Amino acid sequence: MSGDAKTLLVTGGSRGIGRAVALLAGERGWRVAVNYAQDEAAAAQTVATIEAAGGEAFSVRADVAREADILAMFAAVDARWARLDGLVNNAGVVDVPARVDEMSVERLSRMFAINITGSFLCAREAVKRMSTRHGGKGGAIVNLSSAAASLGSPGQYVDYAASKGAIDTMTVGLAREVAAEGVRVNAVRPGIIDTDIHASGGLPDRVAQMRDMVPMKREGTALEVAHAILYLLSDEASYSTGAVLDVTGGR
């Protein structure tokens, strides 16, 4: 692969949507840093799949709820490639279904530390490397929102929905802040997607239960979301910033 190939950091890149993004980016010539928090084997498998197809990738462990981990992750990308052209802020969590009047401060602190603060800090570090104000050559950030941001997820994940609403607002504000500095910032808002995030939130059958509520009458795939993300990262979206693209089957 050419030494001047663009480089991409995907947080939460070892599974689900993040893995799909990493694999598709590798196919399209990006060098990919695959972040993971715990599952080293899954991250290694993602890297191996990219490399087997002729791409270049490496894995880097970091818990995005920890600033020190984030700084070390970006330093690892610096050391490996000395440039950063794209960031996909994908790492995020849900929790078990609960009403707001049942939520603990520990649950809320974890949710917001990973989904909001982690995304802000990763965006901060990316801007420091991409922005012409900081000597960079420009780049693109894509944040992962959710249809929950507009639906609210009552009785299940109001905290998760609120965290993704914050991502929508951050996307628009940051996009306008760095628009004249060569950095584009957009978001995708997935709906019901067939990944294991539902099981991690205690609802392994949620996709099947929600299918008929989607106007298209089917769930989406991680690859369908990845295609939207790769479009927003690409030069084909060169005049798009501050956009939030729904990938929801019409929901």
Query: What residues are annotated to the active site?
Result: 160
Q: Give buried/exposed letters for 47-73 (b at 16+ CB in 10 A, else e).
A: bebbeeeebbbbbbbbbbbbeebbeeb
Structural element, H or E, at residue 117 = none
Q: Give the contacts of 250 (CB within 8 A, at least 6 positions apart).
A: 214, 215, 216
Which tokens belong to 189?
């808002």
Cα 130 from chain centre? 18
Q: Provide the 3-class DSSP secondary structure of residue 143.
A: strand
Of 211, 109, 128, 207, nearest to 174 by C-alpha is 128
